[in-house]
Chain A
Amino acid sequence: MSQINSTEITKSPRGSVGIERSFSKRAWNRFKKNKLALFGLGVILLLIILALCAPIISPYNPFITVRNEFGLANTSQPPSSNHLLGTDNLGRDVLSRMIFAGRISLSVGLVSVSIACSIGVVLGALAGYFGKWVDSLIMRVTDVVICFPVLFLVITVSTMLKPNIFNVMAIIGLVYWTRVARMVRGEILRVRELDFIQASRALGASDFRIIGRHVIPNIMAPLLVQATLLTAQAILIEASLSFLGVGVQQPTPSWGNMLNAATSITVLGFRPWIWIPPGLAILITVLSINFIGDGLRDALDPKLEE
């Protein structure tokens, strides 16, 4: 009789899963089952390694025109054993430029989303936790900013400032915080009324302690999902800006500004090696991040726990 009792206790209400395993471990187990998400994670890790080791890996200097034995620039060469992806209009190695451009895309994605999340979490937390006029004010500002199509707003502001990578990061961050703020506010309204928050309030914890120590950790899961999906968006926006010529400027390579060459019909029709690889690079990067985001959403959703 006593033996039966003890097995029942170790089995716990969750059955075979067991309570000793942490939430993150269980989430990782669910994430692992999603093949697309694992594929995405692999691609992004590979891209990070390529970006970190860019100067070692790239076969040529991405800024310098390659010259042949007669001292002439090797412009618009099709792919060959010397240049795996050919050379561009100025005779620069496309593959090397692609590798260096990966640094730009990934860092723009990470930095701009960090900015967006910082602003969004602070404003969303203030609105959700304090309610009343603080909430109305912050949410009305959010309503206004959300009315401007993102690309429109980003293009407009980037023409007012100097077009460089740091401004691009800042502008994207300053536009995307609204999504984070709305999500955080909604989550906080939900978490705020939970018993343990009431308990710590009763114990005399200050508002900022409650938000920082209890509320924010409880909304990390949806925040992580949102941040991942926004990173994909931010990379797309940077690529569009650079394609239009108001983002990252030549000679710094970015996948977006490499595609700008394809606005000439000669390049578009007859030199596909110049514009197809960077386009595919954007597609695969954004696709991989979206796969990861989707996998995270399923893995971190406690409702889906078996």
Chain B
Amino acid sequence: MQKYIIRRIVQAIPILFGITLLTFMIMQLAPGNPMVTMIDPSISMEDLARAEQSLGLDRPLIVQYWQWLKQILSGNLGYTIRTGQPVSALIGARLPATLLLTSTALVISFILGVPLGVFSASHKYSIPDYGLTLGAFVGISIPGFFLGLGLIYIFALKLGWFPTSGLMGIGMNYEGWPYFIDRVRHLFLPALALALPNMAAVMRFTRSSMIEVLTHDYIRTSRAKGLSAKVVLFKHALRNSLIPVITIFGLSIPFLFGGAYITEQVFNWPGMGSLGIAAITGREYPIVMGLNLFTSTLVLMGNLIADILYAFVDPRIRYS
């Protein structure tokens, strides 16, 4: 087991290098010379060349990549073009809001998706099953921004149950319980908008996994020996059908972080996604690249965790 975990971690290292290499290559695509945007346009050519030399921009790309990689490894993601702020600090400041949003969405999608999937599987080909399957299809087909806008339109503008946007009430000095309620009311709609499509995927996955497990011999045996339907379903079938659901946990991470770009923009949520969109409109490439590097590393770690979890719960996985 330990050996397996170590091997998986070692395997992830070249992928991590690949991520930095791809990020660096995309950065080279960025139009314009970074020097020209950074400094006085009236600078002479000689001065420009000297400045480039001092920053190492005249050296071969492979040397530049190495320099950049060393910086990254020491935790320095570079500086913004206009204000010169460190990118890592900017991302760090936005990280908690995004983590709050994505983890809430993750929890909602599994807490609701798994039971609905189990229900659907145990009532296979019934009317509620068809309804849920159709709902899941709509969930995976709806564009995130349309879902978000629809939720704002119905629940915030027409019914007035929730605020339209933001992280918390502005100008309100809530404390204690009212503060908590205010935060939850702001979180509710964006988390739901992000969670629903993922929940649909979790549900479909649980349903098909459960249906597959229910055809196994041991299920028939436990039914034959007179166990109640509930015990068979929740004690015997559920455990084994949840194993493949771990895969969807691994897939949820890139899905939720990618979806956060859209959701945060629609709900004006001050997280990494809206930072990214602002950086894109402002052509702040260092921020865009920093975000790319950060999220893809996060996804890599998510996959690693999913793989290790898989090995923990499924003894059939060989550790060699």
Q: Is A223 an interface residue (CB 8 A)?
A: no
Residues in A neighbouring B172, C-beta threshold 8 A: none
Residues in B neighbouring A104, C-beta threshold 8 A: none
**A240 vs B259: C-alpha distance in the bound complex, in angstroms?**
10
**A240 vs B265: C-alpha distance in the bound complex, in angstroms?**
11
Q: Is A117 an interface residue (CB 8 A)?
A: no
Known: A160-B29, A275-B149, A279-B150. A140 touches B14 (CB 8 A): yes
How many residues of chain B are within 8 Å of chain A by beta carbon?
Answer: 51
**A243 vs B142: C-alpha distance in the bound complex, in angstroms?**
14
Q: Is A150 an interface residue (CB 8 A)?
A: yes
Of A8-16, A47-55, A76-84, A264-272, the one with at least 4 CB within 8 A of chain B: A264-272
Other than the given A239-B145, A290-B137, A290-B141, 5 more pairs (CB < 8 A) read A145-B22, A148-B254, A148-B296, A275-B149, A283-B138
Residues in B neighbouring A145, C-beta threshold 8 A: 22
Is A239 a contact of B143 with CB atoms below 8 Å?
yes
Residues in B neighbouring A304, C-beta threshold 8 A: none
Is B31 a contact of A262 with CB atoms below 8 Å?
no
Is B292 a contact of A291 with CB atoms below 8 Å?
no
Is B296 a contact of A147 with CB atoms below 8 Å?
yes
Of B49-57, B77-85, B217-225, B274-282, the one with at least 4 CB within 8 A of chain A: B274-282
For the side of the interface on A, what is the size category?
35 or more
Residues in A neighbouring B292, C-beta threshold 8 A: 148, 152-153, 156
Is A148 a contact of B22 with CB atoms below 8 Å?
yes
Q: Is B124 an interface residue (CB 8 A)?
A: no
Known: A150-B254, A151-B259, A290-B141. A159 touches B149 (CB 8 A): no
Q: Is B131 an interface residue (CB 8 A)?
A: no
Query: Could you tell me which B residues sit within 8 Å of A by CB distance?
Result: 14-15, 18-19, 21-22, 26, 29-31, 134, 137-138, 140-146, 149-150, 152-153, 157, 164, 254-255, 257-259, 261-262, 265-266, 276-277, 280-281, 283, 285, 288-289, 291-292, 295-297, 299-300, 303
Instruction: Choose one: B134, B137, B276; the contact of A155 (CB below 8 Å).
Output: B276
Query: Could you tell me which A residues sit within 8 Å of B by CB distance?
Result: 36, 140-141, 143-145, 147-153, 155-157, 159-161, 232, 236, 239-240, 243-246, 256, 259, 262-263, 265, 268-269, 272, 275, 279, 282-283, 286-287, 290-291, 294
Please provide the 7 A-B residue pairs with the shortest distance between their CB atoms, ordered closest to farther: A149-B258, A144-B18, A279-B146, A151-B258, A287-B141, A286-B141, A149-B254
Known: A282-B143, A290-B137. A148 touches B299 (CB 8 A): yes
Is B143 a contact of A151 with CB atoms below 8 Å?
no
Residues in A neighbouring B259, C-beta threshold 8 A: 151
Is A159 a contact of B18 with CB atoms below 8 Å?
no
**A144 vs B283: C-alpha distance in the bound complex, in angstroms?**
25
Residues in B neighbouring A256, C-beta threshold 8 A: 143
**A1 vs B259: C-alpha distance in the bound complex, in angstroms?**
69
Can you list 18 A-B contacts with CB-CB less than 8 angstroms, sorted by A residue number? Answer: A143-B18, A144-B18, A144-B19, A144-B22, A147-B254, A148-B19, A149-B258, A150-B258, A151-B261, A152-B291, A152-B292, A155-B276, A159-B283, A236-B141, A283-B138, A287-B137, A287-B141, A290-B141
Is A152 a contact of B257 with CB atoms below 8 Å?
yes
**A287 vs B140: C-alpha distance in the bound complex, in angstroms?**
8
Instruction: Choose one: A36, A156, A243, A290; the contact of B145 (CB below 8 Å).
Output: A243
Instruction: Choose one: B30, B137, B277, B288; the contact of A244 (CB below 8 Å).
Output: B277
**A152 vs B262: C-alpha distance in the bound complex, in angstroms?**
10
Residues in A neighbouring B266, C-beta threshold 8 A: 263
Measured CB to CB, the nearest residue on chain B to A160 is B29
Residues in B neighbouring A294, C-beta threshold 8 A: 137
